[in-house]
Amino acid sequence: MDQTVEQMVRTRMHGLYLSRRCEDLQQLSHELLGLHCWFHRNVVFSTLIRGADLMGWKSALTKTWLYRGTLHGVVYEDLPELLALHTGSSYLEQHFGKARVEEFAEKALWLMEDGVYSRAEMRRILADEYDARTIDAMLSPWGGVFVHLARQGKVAFRDMTSRDFDMIDAEPIHTMDEVLPGLLERYFTAYGPATTADAAWFFGLSKECKKQVDSMELDGLSRLEYGKHIYYYKEPTAAMGEIPPLTLLSGFDPLIVSYTDRSAVLPPEHKSKVILKSGICNPTIAVNGQVAGIWNIKKREPTVEFFTSQPLRIQKAALDMVDEIRWRTAHL
């Protein structure tokens, strides 16, 4: 591995708690700006891999849609700041108009006030008021009107494993321009070294906002140049460990999905085995900081598949690590 790339991976793994422990789940989610949870078990995997306690994990974080339209487990108090990045119109408005979407959203809120939390029950109650096309779109299993309300900080999933929703009070109180500098510093502190393009990708910023990020001074951050790009990061305050010889990474792990260029940890020849055409990112195994295989728990059994031949001690150690995850999640 190139010396500069090795430095980048080492610093990233430190910031992302892959070469040290973070014992508190809420601290972990706060510092990493949320934990990706398209599949909620990835939050469990990511938490255990990074050393945090799972006690009360289903309600310790709030599951909702954040940047790039992805679901994250977030510290509730962080929501107003994080949601301020994307307070624009809903995609539903393009098909139904703003007034129609707001009308349906208000009815969804009224129903939740009356104790109705599931899409199925709302579909039954509202079936006589709206045509099938409207119902299907507004109550879509992909989010529908709940994405619209979630972006306003008005609803979120009832807990990390639930498919039902509840009302919350986390509406943004600042503008995007006000929160962006602080969020960028948090991003580069946890995810750096990273480029401004990485940050814009991570937060799902528009082209106009990307230009705004590029024009910022980013004072207080260290920087290094590599491959004609400038990478920003915060000098660690704690002693930085070495790259672990063997590391489990969760599905959609921050070390993989948080950068525009993933080649520092994911060799291009193995990308299609890790990030599927459907967009799903598999749980992986890194050997000396480089993704070298995938792992999973299938039918309550640990599975490990390396892309190339590995020494028996590496194979056994990886299987033991996955088996420990299996054992610690068996009761969930």
pLDDT tens, 93-134? 999 999 999 999 999 999 999 999 999 999 999 999 999 999
Residue 15 has pLDDT above 80, yes or no: yes
The residues spanned by each domain of the chain are 93-151, 246-329
Tell me the per-residue pLDDT of 285-329, one tens digit each, with 9 for 90 and over.
Answer: 999 999 999 999 998 999 999 999 999 999 999 999 999 999 999
pLDDT, tens only, 91-100: 899 999 999 9
Predicted local confidence at residue 220, as pLDDT: 87
Q: Give pLDDT tens digits for 143-180.
A: 999 999 999 999 999 999 999 999 999 999 999 999 99
Complete edge-to-edge strand list for the sheet that includes strand 284-287: 246-249, 284-287, 290-298, 301-306
- Mean pLDDT over all residues of the chain? 95
Residue 208, burial from CB neighbour count under 10 angstroms (0-12, 13-18, 19+): exposed
User: pLDDT value at position 239?
Assistant: 87
Structure tokens at 66: 């954040």
State the pLDDT at residue 54: 92
Using DSSP's 3-state secondary structure scheme, residue 105 falls into helix
Q: What's the burial of 119, exposed, middle or buried (CB within 10 Å: 0-12/13-18/19+)? A: buried
Lowest mean pLDDT among 66-70, 88-92, 302-306: 88-92
Question: Is the predicted pLDDT of residue 26 greater than 90, yes or no?
Answer: yes
Q: Any idea what DSSP says for residue 34?
A: S
User: Tens digit of pLDDT for each residue in 193-231?
Assistant: 999 999 999 999 988 888 888 888 888 899 999 999 999
Q: Which amino acid is at 287?
A: V
Query: Shortest CA distance to 64 belongs to which of 37, 39, 102, 90?
Result: 37
Mean pLDDT of 8-36: 97
